[in-house]
Structure 1
Amino acid sequence: MPLSPEQLAEIEELRANPQPTLRAVSAGMEQHLYKPLEVLDHGFVRVIDYMGDDAAICQAARVSYGKGTKSVSNDEGLIRYLMRHWHSTPFEMCEIKLHVKLPVFVARQWIRHRTANVNEYSARYSILDREFYIPEPQHIAAQSVVNNQGRGEALTGEEAARVLEILKSDAARCYDHYEEMISQEDQQGLARELARMNLPANIYTQWYWKVDLHNLFHFLRLRADAHAQYEIRVYADAICNVVADWVPFAFKAFEDYRMGGATLSTKALDCVRRMLKGEDVSQENSGMSKGEWREFMGILEN
């Protein structure tokens, strides 16, 4: 179960008691507050709190840049200008606090984004639930032959079944031993902070994660990308759905200039100019390495 009965009761209580406020409110975000978006087999993302909206971004920009933004006639145009020219500070005026339930190995990837405030469920004080991420068969894949950090073709048949059985049995056995080691009524047992070290990386943890919009966009640009690991990408996709309702102008600009755009090197730009002039440009005369050329062609073909 992604949410415990206690958490569900808390959500119902919070949503049943709205409070009047004078602060800026995003109607789109209000619809998401406290509600869980289920991710993977036991995980979720839900909004606990937020600050700011599209107007807050523009307000901060106009205070900062003054007359320099008067040529921009509306909020959407200003936000697109800020995104296009990499003016990041106004986007830092918006913040979001999320409650996330996720497998530990996903959390270890996620925590690499060090520009957020994080408070994680403590297995020193509490006993972790018997909940493990077990991939769907279509996500059980072999190592990629072209990418050292990615997966390749999906396993099938007996090989897929063999791997799934190992994942399930190892997780169950480790948790059984975890429970056996923890203090019981008839034995002294092991401290929780030590017993947890026997748990597998696919067990679920939870945390509160608070981040400003600028750094959230950086997270989403990397983790909602098609090349990101599936298990973290689905969380990023869920967050994208929330952000699109929270700050629609900013998210559309982010999609256009970051997710859908591309950064080209000096050599790549030179190749584009030569191609437009009708020149025959190849990897050999481009000045790029094979890897750079492959990525460049991938941008042009997509």
Structure 2
Amino acid sequence: MPVTPEQQAEIDALRAQPRQTLRAVSEGMEAHLYKAIPVLDHGFVRVIDYMGDDAAICQAARVSYGKGTKSVQNDEGLIRYLMRHWHSTPFEMCEVKLHVKLPVFVARQWIRHRTANVNEYSARYSILDREFYIPEPSQLAAQSVVNNQGRGAALTADESARVLEILKGDAARTYDHYEEMISDTSPDGGAKQGLARELARMNLPANIYTQWYWKVDLHNLFHFLRLRADAHAQYEIRVYADAICKVVADWVPAAYGAFEDYRMGGAVLSAKGLECLRRMLKGEAVTQETSGMSKGEWREFEGVLNDPA
């Protein structure tokens, strides 16, 4: 269960205590504040705090006083200009702090984005819960024969069942050993020395859940989302990115619209790719052999031209 009854009671209590403020407020983000969005089987994402809105981006770009808003149309046009020309610093004026519950192996991918502030649940101080990510059968696939870091064809029903039994059995067994190692009571009820938590945790699998607070500015959040909400990203981190995308779209709708158009929906071509495109538009039949590109480059170029995604 992503959120315990105690956590839900805390969320309800926080949302029941509105406060007056002189800060810029995003009504879209206020609707998300503190709420937990379920992700995977036991995970969630929730907004703890935020700063700024679309107007704050424009205010920073114009270095003006007050709201910095000339009109909604002018602000949206400015934001699209900033996104289109890769002017990133105005987007850094907006920040968000998220509370995320996620499997450890997802956290290890996530932490590669080093332009954020992170504070993780301490397994040296506290005992980890018996919660493990167990994939749905539809997410179990063989190694891709094209992409060395991706999935290929789905496993058969029999093979999926066998893998799931291994995952569940290993998770239960390692957690039983974890509890046994840290316990100060022996199986016969007598006293014994329990192993330090900082050592006992080493035997736990990478699909156990951890939690952290993750604070990041909008520019670096967009970079995270561009990579992790992409169709080629690993499913288990992509579903977190997808959940965050929905929150950001409500928080800064103009900025997210520009991001979706220019980054998520757009494409970057190399000089060779741009030249090939110009030749094609003139009616020339360009092939990989005449393009000057490697096979990998050509495959990606064709993907940009032909892939609806």
Does TM, normalized by the shorter one, top 0.5? yes
Cα deviation per residue 1:15-68 (whole Å; 9 max; x = unaligned)? Answer: 00000000000000000000000000000000000000000000000018xxxx
Question: What is aligned with 2:90?
Answer: 90
Measure how far apart 1:183 and its partner are: 3.1
1:237-276 equivalence runs, <5 A: 237-276=242-281
Separation (CA, whole Å) in 2 of partners of 1:21 and 1:138: 47
Alignment of 1:136-285 (within 5 A): 136-185=136-185, 186-285=191-290
What is residue 67 of structure 1 aligned with on the other side? Answer: none
- Residue 188 of structure 1 deviates from its aligned partner by 0.8
Query: Contact 1:105/1:201 (CA < 8 Å) preserved in 2?
Result: yes
Q: Deviations over 1:187-246 (max 9, x none)?
A: 111000000001000000000000000000000000000000000000000000000000
- Mark the runs of 5 or more structure 2 residues left unpaired by the alignment: 65-69, 186-190
* Residue 114 of structure 1 pairs with residue 125 of structure 2: no
How many aligned positions are there? 297
- Match of 2:63, SS state, is helix
Q: Which amino acid aligns with 1:256?
A: D
Q: CA deviation at 1:5?
A: 2.8
* Residue of structure 2 in register with 1:293 after alignment: 298
Instruction: Give the letter for the 2:220 counterpart.
Output: N
Which residue identity does 1:296 align to in structure 2? F
TM-score under structure 1 normalisation?
0.96
Displacement of 1:73 in angstroms is 6.3
Q: RMSD between aligned alpha carbons? A: 1.4
1:55-91: CA deviations, max 9, x gaps?
0000000018xxxxx9x96100000000000000000
**Could you tell me whether the CA contact under 8 Å between 1:274 and 1:281 is conserved in 2?**
yes
1:1-80 alignment runs, 5 A limit? 1-63=1-63, 74-80=74-80
Task: Structure 1: give runs of 5+ residues left out of the alignment.
Answer: 65-69
More displaced 10-residue stretch of structure 1: 177-186 or 80-89: 177-186
1:184 Cα deviation after fit:
1.9
Mapped to 2, the partners of 1:241 and 1:269 lie a distance apart of 33
Query: What letter matches 2:157 in structure 1?
Result: G
Mapped to 2, the partners of 1:40 and 1:278 lie a distance apart of 48
Tell me the alpha carbon deviations over residues 120-171 of structure 1, each in whole angstroms, 9 at most, x when there is no partner: 0000000000000000000011000111000101112211110000000000
Alignment check: 8 A CA contact 1:183 1:191 kept: no
Between the aligned partners of 2:137 and 2:73, the Cα distance in structure 1 is 52
Hey, what does 2:67 align to over in structure 1? none
Give, as a single letter, the amino acid of the residue that structure 2 aligns with 1:115: T
Give, in whole Å, the separation in 2 of the partners of 1:229 and 1:271.
31
Q: Percent identity?
A: 85
SS in 2 for 1:74: helix
TM-score for both structures, normalised by structure 2:
0.94
Judged with a 3 Å threshold, the aligned counterparts in structure 2 of structure 1 residues 128 and 73 are, in CA distance, closer, same or farther, namely closer
How far apart in 2 are the matches of 1:116 and 1:157? 41
Partner SS, residue 3 of structure 1: coil
Conservation of the 8 A alpha-carbon contact between 1:36 and 1:45: yes
Residues in 2 aligned to 1:8 and 1:73: alpha-carbon distance in whole angstroms: 39
